[in-house]
Amino acid sequence: MSDEQAPDPSRRDLLARLAFATLLGGMATSEQASAGSHTAREPVVYPPCDEQLKAEIDAVLQRTEAIWNAQEWWRLPTEIWDREDPTPMYVAEELYDVMIGWDVLDRYIFPPKKGLDAFRWGYSKLWVKELAPNVALALYDHWFEIKIRAPGPIGVPRHGFDRVLSIYNKRDDGWRQSLYAQCPLGPDTYTRRMAEKLVKPDWDEFYEDVKTRDIQDPRLKKQN
């Protein structure tokens, strides 16, 4: 690189300071949002909801979890989804387009074609809302672990998590799913949340112990 092409040292220093300030700003925002929690953030508490409706939807989600973890995915379209709805909707995080209708949905819920080796699914923080008589919305967090049947890095098991919105219609045989929409965090927020999840459970204990120590860097004394 010639001298004319080399970046101006003062400009480079300014950019470095701006980048650092942006990082500190993001950390400050995260700290404010955590309301003083040492382990990143306090969990969100949802308002009260209809406990009877919640229990009924929770039973459907428990059955969904059991089906996935038994690797019996072929039961999902007939036991969980609402076959009476001609236009079911599935918003998958890994696809650009929304799937609407049984022609595309039945093809999607066919893991052997994707080389799926194993899949584990779970959920938490369920909240429900009645949208209309016999129509309910469910909000919950979910996590999954997946292994693709392929050699190399793509075949290594991996983990993910999302928020999910589902809509259920009440039929003669119970509540049936009509919409399943994954609502992932943005890339920056997802990465930060993933890093928070990796913090070990004993962090608070470690942090409180650190605060009791009188930490004195001897190099600072020499500068004085």
pLDDT (tens digit, 9 = 90+) per residue, 17-58?
A: 555 444 444 544 444 444 444 445 667 789 999 999 999 999
Domain residue spans of the chain: 51-187
Please say if the pLDDT value at position 15 is more than 80.
no
Q: Show the 3-state SS of the chain.
A: CCCCCCCCHHHHHHHHHHHHHHHHHHHHHHHHHCCCCCCCCCCCCCCCCCHHHHHHHHHHHHHHHHHHHCCCHHHHHHHCECCCCCCCEEECCCCCCCEECHHHHHHHCCHHHHCEEEEEEEEEEEEEEEEECCEEEEEEEEEEEEEECCCCHHHCCEEEEEEEEEEEEEECCEEEEEEEEEECCCHHHHHHHHHHHCCCCCHHHHHHHHHCCCCCCHHHHHHC
pTM: 0.69
Reported confidence tier of residue 12, pLDDT bands at 50, 70, 90? low
User: In the prediction, which pLDDT does 186 show?
Assistant: 63
- The CATH architecture annotation of domain 51-187 reads Roll (3.10)
Question: Average model confidence (pLDDT) for the chain?
Answer: 81
